[in-house]
Amino acid sequence: MTLTVTRDQTVATITMDNPPVNALTLERYREIGDVFEETAAWSDIHCIILTGAGSKAFCAGLDLNEFVAATVEQDPNRAAIIRRAFAAIRKASVPVIAAINGPALGAGNVIASCADFRICTPNSRFGMPEVNIGRCGGAAHMARHLPQGLLRRMYFTGLPISAEEAARWGYVEEIVAAEDLMPRAREFATLIASKAPLGLRLAKEALNRIEFMPTEEGYELEQSYSTRLMTTADAREAIRATVEKRAPVWTGR
């Protein structure tokens, strides 16, 4: 397996570990789908950090050696496996933080885009170089984050954007020194994981569902999730703990 999963109390860290640049083969896409679906289903995990091993890249995208051998007839099946991997990250039942330790290119960039938010190091770059190998990239995913002009510039030229430009457009939330990347990601993850488990899961589901809805319809749906939360013991505990100025004790009910 080229994905490793470690646990620290209620936080899981999933690491892509395929040196030197964590490139993706079809089997690794399958792994991503399997591992994210399994990890997000653990009832005692409330946040996931996704990162890459080493210092050369978060993920440099598709393994070109395998791609050269692929046939047109195989492509629809390959595409379905890849879509499942991306969906497993974006639709994970708990928040996902991408801790980006270097360039995120092609499919690696799409993987980063599927997280709930991103923090990166100064040497990170974000690119869609598929045009250089006669393919189309993950514009449908990137259009969730970037304006059309920038998206199309990246798509047509294959040129990446820097960490600073990504931050300027809100694609990444923070840029931190390499040695601070995982501590900062864990700081965020620990804070998130301290919230009510059912609240996190329902909030994640609600945010995914309302993302592309008109404002009024989306807000109505969001309110329905809030009403569902009112029926839970943890919601009542949250109010009591706030009034009593103490830390809440969650039961997951």
List Cβ neighbours of 70 (8 Å cut-off, separation of 6 or more): 78
d(CA 97, CA 108) in angstroms, rounded, equals: 14
pLDDT for residue 151: 96
pLDDT for residue 69: 64
Q: What six digits make up the tokens of 245?
A: 């100025």
Q: What is the C-alpha R_g of the chain? A: 19
| Beta strands per DSSP E along 139-253 | 161-162, 174-175
Torsion angle, CA of 223/226/228/232, rounded to 10 degrees? -170
| Beta strands per DSSP E along 30-173 | 47-52, 96-100, 104-105, 117-120, 125-127, 161-162
Digitized pLDDT (tens) for each residue of the chain, 253 residues in all: 589 999 999 999 999 999 899 999 899 999 999 999 999 889 899 999 999 999 899 999 888 776 666 667 777 788 899 999 999 999 999 999 999 999 999 999 999 999 999 999 999 999 999 888 877 889 999 999 999 999 999 999 999 999 999 999 999 999 999 999 999 999 999 999 999 999 999 999 999 999 999 999 999 999 999 999 989 998 888 889 888 888 888 888 8
pLDDT for residue 68: 66
pLDDT for residue 1: 53
Count each helix (H run) and each strand (E run) in the chain, helices first: 11, 9
d(CA 63, CA 92) in angstroms, rounded, equals: 25
Q: Backbone phi, then psi, for 197, in 5-degree steps? A: -55, -45
